[in-house]
C-alpha cells in the first residue's frame, strides 16, 4: 500500500503540466483525487484514464469564486470528504507594469490569489484533522524579474495566506506549506520566455537543466504524506539550485 492509501485529495488545475504530475503522483502513492480543469477537456480525460479510475475530473473556471466553491463541494461529494488540498491552478502573465489594465489585474488576482483564499477558507472549516494544504507559488516572489509584477504579487499573497493558516490550523494537526518552483519545462514557461532566456536560466542553475513537472510533484507528494508531519508554515524553493 502507498503512504497515501485511504487519503482523499483535491488538486486545482490538474489536467496539464505540474498539476497533472501532482495528480498522477498522489494517485501512485495511494490517494484518490478529484482535480479541476478549466477548458482542457481532452487532457483531463487523459489524466483520468492514466490514473485508472482513481482520479476524477471536474470542470471549473476559478475566475468565478462560485465555481471554486462548487469544485470544493463536488470533491467532497465524490470522495466523501477531503484530507489534502493542493492549490495549483494559476495564470502566468508577463507584462510591463505600465501596460496592465484594471480588468487584467483583477482576472489574474482572482484566479491566482482569491480562488486560493476561498479554497483555503473552506478547508479551514471542512478539511479533516491531520490534513495537508499545499499551494504552488513561484521563485518570482524572491526574484523580481521584469514583467512579473502582478503574477509575483498574486503568489506572494498565497504565501502569506499559507503562513497564517499554518498557525491557525496547527492545533488540528493540519500542515500548510507552499512550494516555489524555479524554471520548469511547461507550456507556461515557454510562453513567457524566449529560447535564449531559457538557455541563460539553465546556465544559472546548479543542476544544469530545466525542471520537469515530476520534480515539483515529488515535493508536493512529500508534503502531502506522513513524513512531512513536522513541517508547516514553510515555503520550499524547488529550483535545481537556480542562482538568486
Domain residues for the domain of 125 are: 8-238
Question: What is the band of 144 on the pLDDT scale with cuts at 50, 70, 90?
Answer: confident
C-beta atoms surrounding 227 within 10 Å: 11
Q: What is the CATH number of the domain that holds 217?
A: 3.40.50.720
Is residue 229 included in any domain, yes or no?
yes
Report helix, strand or coil for 210. Answer: coil
Is residue 244 included in any domain, yes or no?
no
What domain count does the chain have? 1
**β partners of residue 211:** 184
Find out whether 41 and 237 touch, Cβ atoms under 8 Å. Answer: no
Question: Quick one: which of 68, 112, 125, 94 has its CA closest to 190?
Answer: 94
Active site residue 72: no
Given the residues 37, 72, 105, 151, select the one marked as catalytic.
Answer: 151
As a whole number of Å, the CA-based R_g of the chain is 17
Is residue 172 included in any domain, yes or no?
yes
C-beta atoms surrounding 92 within 10 Å: 18
Is residue 3 included in any domain, yes or no?
no
Extract the C-alpha cell encoding 7: 487519503
Max mean pLDDT range (115-124, 193-202, 234-243): 115-124
Alpha carbons 184 and 46: distance in angstroms, whole number: 21
pLDDT in tens, 2-58: 999 999 999 999 999 999 999 999 999 999 999 999 999 999 999 999 999 999 999
Say yes or no to pLDDT of 186 above 80. no
pLDDT in tens, 203-219: 889 999 988 999 999 99
Give mean pLDDT, residues 124-134: 98
Alpha carbons 113 and 96: distance in angstroms, whole number: 20
Find out whether 57 and 48 touch, Cβ atoms under 8 Å. Answer: yes
Amino acid at each position: 500500500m502507498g503512504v497515501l492509501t485511504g487519503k482523499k485529495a483535491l488538486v486545482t488545475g490538474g489536467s496539464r503540466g505540474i498539476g497533472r504530475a501532482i495528480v498522477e503522483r498522489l494517485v501512485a502513492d495511494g490517494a484518490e483525487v478529484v482535480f479541476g480543469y478549466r477548458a482542457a477537456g481532452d487532457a483531463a480525460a487523459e489524466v483520468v484514464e492514466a490514473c485508472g479510475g482513481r482520479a476524477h475530473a471536474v470542470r471549473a473556471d476559478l475566475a468565478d469564486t462560485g465555481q471554486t466553491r462548487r469544485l470544493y463541494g463536488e470533491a467532497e461529494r465524490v470522495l466523501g470528504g477531503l484530507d489534502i488540498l493542493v492549490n495549483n491552478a494559476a495564470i502566468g502573465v508577463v507584462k510591463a507594469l505600465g501596460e496592465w489594465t484594471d480588468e487584467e489585474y483583477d482576472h489574474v488576482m482572482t484566479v491566482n490569489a482569491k480562488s486560493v483564499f476561498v479554497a483555503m477558507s473552506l478547508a479551514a472549516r471542512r478539511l479533516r484533522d491531520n490534513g495537508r494544504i499545499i499551494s504552488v507559488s513561484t521563485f518570482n516572489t524572491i526574484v523580481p524579474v521584469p514583467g512579473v509584477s502582478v503574477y509575483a504579487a498574486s503568489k506572494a499573497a498565497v504565501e502569506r495566506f499559507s503562513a497564517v493558516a499554518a498557525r491557525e490550523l496547527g492545533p488540528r494537526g493540519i500542515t500548510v506549506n507552499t512550494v516555489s518552483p524555479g524554471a520548469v519545462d511547461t507550456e507556461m514557461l515557454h510562453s513567457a520566455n524566449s529560447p535564449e532566456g531559457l538557455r541563460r536560466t539553465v546556465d544559472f542553475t546548479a543542476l544544469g537543466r530545466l525542471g520537469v513537472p515530476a520534480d515539483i510533484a515529488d515535493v508536493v507528494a512529500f508534503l502531502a504524506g506522513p513524513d512531512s508531519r513536522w513541517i508547516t508554515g514553510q515555503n520550499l524553493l524547488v529550483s535545481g539550485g537556480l542562482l538568486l
